[in-house]
Amino acid sequence: MASGQLYSAQKRRLRWPVVAGLVVLHAAALYGLARAFAPDITASVERQVVAAFDIAAPEPAPPPPENRAEPDEGAQGAPGREAVARPVAAEVPQRRLKEDVVLPRASSTGTASRSGGAAAGEGTGAAGSGTGTGSGNAGSGRGGVAVSKPVHISGTIDNARDFPVPPGGREARRGTQVIVRVTVTPEGRARDCAIVRPSPDPQADRITCQLVESRLGFRPATDASGNPVAAPFYWRQQWF
């Protein structure tokens, strides 16, 4: 009596393998019912489960490139022939060239005017200074260049009787004047008189030119060397 009470008072402990087996049995029963009554839903769930655990196989690595033999370039060709210019001959000119004329050797010393090297001669082509009309700046001819002006040194034109009485009396000529231009020669005489500014009395103007040439004396102009040369001179005649 006492032993039976002790067995009932003790609790039985559950074992985990038994519990796991029961869970598996219940899951298998539920899966069987689902396959029987809802086959489409069960197949869809199975595909999702399988896809979740499906691991794609790695793609195969590409094959290594083939080892191709390089083509043979061949040996170097023979060098080309060296280019040589074709000889060309100059054509002979049809017209004959003018030959140089041999000239006689000029004289470098000497005093003869015909040898080509005269120092100072008297010929028409001799160089140096001279006294001819074409002597230029260094001569006393009419071609010389004056550096000083002619100067009136003698003679006067102050006599009223030298001029005729104009029409209307001498009062008609009072206060007028005439300007003439003459060339004073190296000898100091006036030549080639010309009226530059006339007066109201043409006859008196012509008489003035005559008196300047015949009555007046001048000191001639000189060039740079002091030689007398011809130069122009202006004379003004007034009537009072």
Per-residue pLDDT of the chain (240 residues; tens, 9 = 90+): 444 444 444 455 656 777 777 777 777 777 776 666 666 666 666 666 556 555 555 666 667 666 565 555 556 667 767 776 777 666 766 666 666 666 666 555 555 555 444 455 555 554 555 555 554 444 445 456 778 999 999 999 998 889 988 888 888 888 999 999 999 999 999 999 999 999 999 999 999 999 999 999 999 999 999 999 999 999 999 998
> Could you tell me which CATH number the domain at 144-238 has?
3.30.2420
Per-residue model confidence (pLDDT) at position 1 = 43
CA 127 – CA 125 distance, rounded (Å): 7
Per-residue model confidence (pLDDT) at position 55 = 56
Per-residue model confidence (pLDDT) at position 38 = 63
Beta strand extents in 42-176 (DSSP E only): 151-154
Its pTM stands at 0.42
CB count within 10 Å of CB 6 equals: 8
Residue with tokens 């007046």: 216
Residues in the chain: 240
Strand partners, 194: 181
DSSP line for 152-167? EEE-----GGGSPPPT
CA 228 – CA 159 distance, rounded (Å): 31
User: Among 126, 199, 174, 184, which Cα is nearest to 154's?
Assistant: 184
CA 190 – CA 181 distance, rounded (Å): 9
Give percent helix, percent strand, percent coil of the chain, each to the nearest 5.
30, 15, 60
Q: Mapping DSSP to helix (H, G, I), strand (E, B) and coil, where does residue 6 land?
A: helix
Per-residue model confidence (pLDDT) at position 172 = 84
* Cα 231 to Cα 127, 148, 222, distances in angstroms: 25, 9, 9
User: Among 232, 220, 239, which Cα is nearest to 176's?
Assistant: 239
